[in-house]
Structure 1
């Protein structure tokens, strides 16, 4: 369909079939045939051929106006595709579980913006269930969560092992302890924990049940930052990934025996979906950053 439109525009500009054919590098009969076929499809003559000079009909003038706009849009589309291929434009829709905001997301997004400043990024901090749901609906490109997803529609790419730890402020009495805290001793440690809907809290509660202990939970909060501030400034301990120490000073990790559980961090995406170029670039950058930071890769 584009070829006859370009033929029409060239004839309209040159007002001559012969010269138009020469410019387009086609034979005049082929040019005339293509334009007549287009006129038959449209049900109207575009050119008045009765005089010596070729001129546009009323139908032709209206059609030319819209044809030029259409070709301009198509050319702009081609340029936009080149921009996307060169990562000079595009969009990354990313969501992550809350604890990753404290050590992983900030450094990753800073690197990504430095490498691809023209790519727009939409980030959301969401519960794992919501991340899975949005990925299934194609409302996200990537999610950062854990390998134990419930949806069969999602692909998980293991990234690294995340150790859950007992964290205290550097002024806390346990910060100077050399021997591990036993599960039974943990029974007497006042805690500030995330609310029960957080995955890390579910891991902590499962550990407490397995060892038949009930440590005093003095504060529950729905924000990791709130918990960390309480722990840094007071006598409370918390149970969070030890990796938050990378981005937060004033904290110490206390060994516990038996050890608190590990979980495997994973990059989540929809199965059988073609990743966007922006998503592929972020994945490559994230894997490189994990390697550089010395995080324990899983399945590498």
Structure 2
């Protein structure tokens, strides 16, 4: 049948007698106190003090995050960021470019950090820079500490009444074709001051960015493939033959058989898409072959060609329902459905904007019933 659409902190580490740990030494004749000369860089005595200190990396970062201006803590935070850049790039040259600092400056900062910790963090003997055993351990804890600081900063900027904020979303391309005009638009209408960033990408990429805390949520399919990703099942996504209103099959009431579908010129997504995998598998299982006239890697191109009336495609029937100028025809037996899901990272911090969006998703009706 054809369906044509008509939506308490630690104290600063100081020497006995007061003063910043990064202050200058008192100089002059015995019995006469010279003025303290402030220095931006810590002395060897300060480094020895850091080695003796029981503060962990997390302790120093907490001091920075609660507003302390201790120069030593700020220095260590900068060193940690430099260290992680070299660890990621495996090269001082590439890391320096990424940090926009000179290579000698970066090398000096890493040497200072190694002197502070009393261990060698990098093996510099090969063609590429490699983490030592000490470096591997330190990198793991340094990443966790910076991640905790980032969460703290995001929490501080959270506005309980959604007067501002941001939301980082991703979805597989076919979802973008029917969710942007209804679900996303409705959320934006309710919360116009929340800055939305939406990208279309494969499920593997969505899960990778969620795991790296570079996304707040993503639309994909059940089940998630990574163990640190959790999924909220949403609705089943049936596929249909989608045509323009002027296509010769647009008003057909009877479902198409696999053989009839195989004789219809189609514009399909490329084999890189999960939807195409479902289509190809269906044809193989029913002993038919699709007549692919055009193959493209963008849903937008598929829909533009279909609207012109000469070609049809196979996409979720919700695409036709949301478009207003497309028709969806049933296929019998139907193509296998997949369950749409909202993916998030297990244990991730959820901003007020993210929680509001999840509530909106839960209230959103199944697209097949719209």
Higher strand residue share: 1
Contact preservation (8 Å) 1:97, 1:126: yes
Deviations for 1:79-110, whole angstroms, at most 9, x for unmatched residues?
x8375233223221110111122211232222
1:270 aligned to 2:345? yes
1:163 shift after superposition: 0.9
Rounded to whole Å, the distance in 2 between the matches of 1:223 and 1:175 is 23
C-alpha RMSD of matched pairs (Å): 3.6
Partner of 1:212: 287
Partner of 2:171: 96
Most deviating of 85-94 and 160-169? 85-94
Q: 1:3 to 1:162 in 2, by over 3 A?
A: closer
Question: Out of 196, 208, 211, which is 1:121 matched to?
Answer: 196
Rounded to whole Å, the distance in 2 between the matches of 1:41 and 1:82 is 38
Contact preservation (8 Å) 1:160, 1:295: no
Contact preservation (8 Å) 1:183, 1:256: yes
Partner of 2:219: 144
Q: Secondary structure at the match of 1:103?
A: helix
Contact preservation (8 Å) 1:175, 1:252: yes
Contact preservation (8 Å) 2:317, 2:368: no
Q: Secondary structure at the match of 1:196?
A: coil
1:111 aligned to 2:190? no
1:189 aligned to 2:165? no
Partner of 1:42: 18
1:159 aligned to 2:234? yes
Q: Secondary structure at the match of 1:175?
A: coil
Gaps of at least 5 residues in structure 2 are: 1-7, 21-34, 37-66, 70-151
> If the length of structure 1 is used for normalisation, what is the TM-score?
0.70
Deviations for 1:205-234, whole angstroms, at most 9, x for unmatched residues?
111111121121000011112111211213
Q: 1:40 to 1:115 in 2, by over 3 A?
A: farther
Rounded to whole Å, the distance in 2 between the matches of 1:249 and 1:114 is 20
1:262 shift after superposition: 1.2
Question: Out of 107, 132, 149, which is 2:207 matched to?
Answer: 132
Rounded to whole Å, the distance in 1 between the matches of 2:243 and 2:263 is 14
Rounded to whole Å, the distance in 1 between the matches of 2:347 and 2:286 is 42
1:253 aligned to 2:328? yes
1:284 aligned to 2:348? no
Partner of 1:240: 315
Alignment of 1:15-94 (within 5 A): 42-43=18-19, 81=156, 83-94=158-169
Rounded to whole Å, the distance in 1 between the matches of 2:17 and 2:185 is 54
Deviations for 1:173-192, whole angstroms, at most 9, x for unmatched residues?
22232222111222211111
Q: After the TM superposition, which segments of 4 or more aligned residues of structure 1 sit over 4 Å from their partners?
A: 1-5, 38-41, 293-296
1:273 shift after superposition: 2.1
